[in-house]
Structure 1
Amino acid sequence: MSLSLQGCALRGAPSFEIFGAYFPFWLLSGLLGLVGALIAQRIFVTTGWARTVPYLLFVCVAIGLTVAVLFWLSATGLLL
């Protein structure tokens, strides 16, 4: 029974302060993931890889998700 509660902790949600207001950390991770996807799309278009990469939308979303998750894990200290 106690094995199902291993993920629960009393630490609370990680948050950061911007101009005196606290924002959840997942919001910043999502925004950085969106920026990562947009940068990847721009790189694909300017280099010409957009014509050769199939399903470019899904590739850019996967890159953005990877950026967001890696930022989340590294910033919360769970990566290493």
Structure 2
Amino acid sequence: MAASAVLAGCASATDVSATDKPGTYTVSASATGGRLAWARAHERAVSEANDYCESRGMQTSVAYERTDGIEALQQHGAVLRFECHPRF
């Protein structure tokens, strides 16, 4: 039971990196354990993107997202492509 709880809360992310399109960035995240691991991966990727843009005084605009993984014990992933735009 304790191992299940530990797995349920784990999600990791890559560093944000620039793409070949100026002003567009990408970040990937993954999570394991449970049916909704894809949701934790999504939340972690969005959080990383938001932190990246906010550190520059800007807001995040998601251009593309892909999630994968459906099995309960499988690693689930999210790939997010985003831009940072000025706050209005």
Q: Would the TM-score normalized by the shorter structure come out above 0.5? A: no
TM-score (norm 1): 0.39
Structure having the larger proportion of residues in helix? 1
Structure having the larger proportion of residues in strand? 2
